[in-house]
């Protein structure tokens, strides 16, 4: 009799353990991303950005087996906010927006960048008839930055201006303008709306190569020292998804030439949060972040 009771109890125990194991498996599956939502700072032509990021989504879906969606953002701040809320799982940030996002989501990781992002530059441009040949000549002139949250279009140009003793709030003719994007910056200077401006070197180089800007009217007069800038940052998601996405980004090659051409690179390489400490330091010095 005792053996029969013990047998029943053992059977019930095994059934209970199996049920718990199945529940745990379901729970683990539920923690993995069902849909990976990606975003990018809107720092240039919206149509080009949307088309290219849709292709990134298609590539990542193919490589990871997940459903991947690109979610456009109206501005830099909107992307950072969406990332903080967990509505964006992977984002193409500039140095400053990446720092802002990481401050809000400490578990987030910078995972990939272009080789050029380890030594990135801003360029200062001026109208050919402005008489501007060096940074000091900007005093008393009209000036446009890009977005207020842009590393290469505002943060670092402002830092290098300060190093030359130029206070954008006091030394320009009127307050500096914020164009919102790099391509708008060079168009504003080309049109004569502003005498000078600062923008991302990669966007400028592409505009010149594609003849989108008239260099007989506007050209570069100063290039900044190097700093870390753009990168892919991944939100706090499960390790398997994170590993799969990182692997896919780092393995992009000539078969993804159209995507890589948009990013003006031939590959992505590994990066880490620590690389952007200098950006964070400058942003705090300029009181752009607390």
CATH number at residue 203: 3.40.190.10
Pick the last residue of a domain from 223, 256, 276: 223
pLDDT computed for residue 33 by the predictor: 62
Same domain, 67 and 161: no
Burial of 108 (0-12, 13-18, 19+ CB in 10 A): buried
Look up residue 236 and give its two tokens.
Answer: 């706090």
Residue 280 lies in a domain: yes
Q: What angle do CA 83, 92, 162 make, to 5 degrees?
A: 95
State whether 128 and 206 are in the same domain.
yes
Q: How many domains does the chain have?
A: 2
Q: Are 248 and 214 found together in one domain?
A: no
Alpha carbon distance 186, 202 (integer Å) = 13
239 belongs to a structural domain? yes
- The Cα-based distances of 85 to 21, 72, 80, 147 in angstroms read 32, 15, 9, 22
What angle is formed at CA 91 by the lines to CA 89 and CA 96, rounded to 5 degrees?
A: 130
Q: Are residues 109 and 36 in the same domain?
A: yes
Any idea what DSSP says for residue 227?
B
* Residues 111, 133 within the same domain: no
Per-residue model confidence as pLDDT tens for the chain (290 residues)? 555 554 544 554 444 544 444 444 444 443 456 899 999 999 888 899 999 999 999 999 999 999 999 999 999 999 999 999 999 999 999 999 999 999 999 999 999 999 999 999 999 999 999 999 999 999 999 999 999 999 999 999 999 999 999 999 999 999 999 999 999 999 999 999 999 999 999 999 999 999 999 999 999 999 999 999 999 999 999 999 999 999 999 999 999 999 999 999 999 999 999 999 999 999 999 988 87
Nearest to 115 by CA among 278, 252, 222: 252
Residues 113 and 248 grouped into a single domain = yes
Tell me if 186 sits within 8 A of 199, measured CB to CB: yes
For residue 25, the model assigns a pLDDT of 46
Give the residue numbers spanning the domain of 185: 121-223
Kind and range of the H or E element at 184? helix 182-191
Q: Is residue 213 located within the same domain as residue 136?
A: yes
Residue 82 lies in a domain: yes
Name the residue among 244, 276, 206 with its Cα closest to residue 49.
Answer: 206
Distance CA 207, CA 57 (A): 25
Instruction: Report, in this order, helix, strand and coil percent for the chain, each rounded to 5.
Output: 50, 15, 30
Note whether 112 and 232 are same-domain residues.
Answer: yes
222 strand-pairing partners = 124
Residue 77 lies in a domain: yes
Task: Tell me what pLDDT residue 3 has.
Answer: 52
Asked whether residue 113 falls in the same domain as residue 244, the answer is: yes
Please say which residue of 223, 242, 261 terminates a domain. Answer: 223
Residue 88 shares a structural domain with residue 212: no
Mark which of 223, 239, 264 sits at the end of a domain: 223
Q: Does residue 109 lie in a domain region? A: yes
131 and 196, same structural domain? Answer: yes
**Domain annotation covers residue 142:** yes
Residues 275 and 132 in one domain: no
CA–CA separation, 119 vs 227, rounded Å? 5
């Amino acid at each position: 009799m005792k053996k029969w009771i013990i047998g029943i109890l053992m059977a019930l125990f095994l059934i209970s353990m199996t049920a718990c194991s199945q529940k745990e498996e379901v729970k683990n599956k539920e923690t993995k991303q069902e849909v990976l939502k990606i975003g990018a700072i809107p720092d240039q032509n919206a149509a080009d950005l949307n088309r290219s990021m849709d292709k990134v989504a298609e590539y990542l879906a193919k490589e990871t087996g997940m459903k991947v969606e690109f979610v456009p953002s109206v501005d830099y701040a909107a992307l950072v906010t969406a990332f903080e809320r967990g509505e964006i799982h992977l984002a193409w940030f500039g140095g400053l927006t990446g720092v802002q996002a990481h401050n809000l989501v400490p578990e987030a990781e910078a995972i990939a960048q272009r080789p050029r992002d380890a030594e990135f530059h801003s360029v200062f441009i001026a109208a050919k008839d402005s008489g501007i040949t060096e940074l000091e000549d900007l005093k008393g002139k009209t000036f446009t930055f890009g977005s207020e949250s842009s590393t290469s279009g505002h943060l670092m140009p402002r830092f290098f201006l300060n190093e030359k003793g130029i206070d954008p709030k006091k030394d320009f003719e009127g307050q500096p303008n914020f164009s919102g994007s790099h391509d708008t910056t060079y168009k504003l200077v080309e049109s004569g709306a502003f005498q000078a401006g600062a923008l991302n070197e990669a966007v400028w180089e592409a505009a010149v190569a594609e003849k989108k800007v008239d260099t007989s009217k506007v050209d570069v007069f100063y290039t900044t020292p190097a700093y870390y800038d753009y990168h892919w940052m991944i939100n706090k998601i499960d390790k398997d998804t994170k590993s799969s996405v990182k692997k896919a980004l780092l393995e992009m090659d000539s078969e993804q030439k159209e995507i890589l051409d948009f990013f003006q690179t031939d590959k992505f390489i590994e990066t880490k949060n620590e690389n952007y400490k200098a950006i964070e330091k400058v942003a705090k010095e300029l009181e752009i972040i607390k």
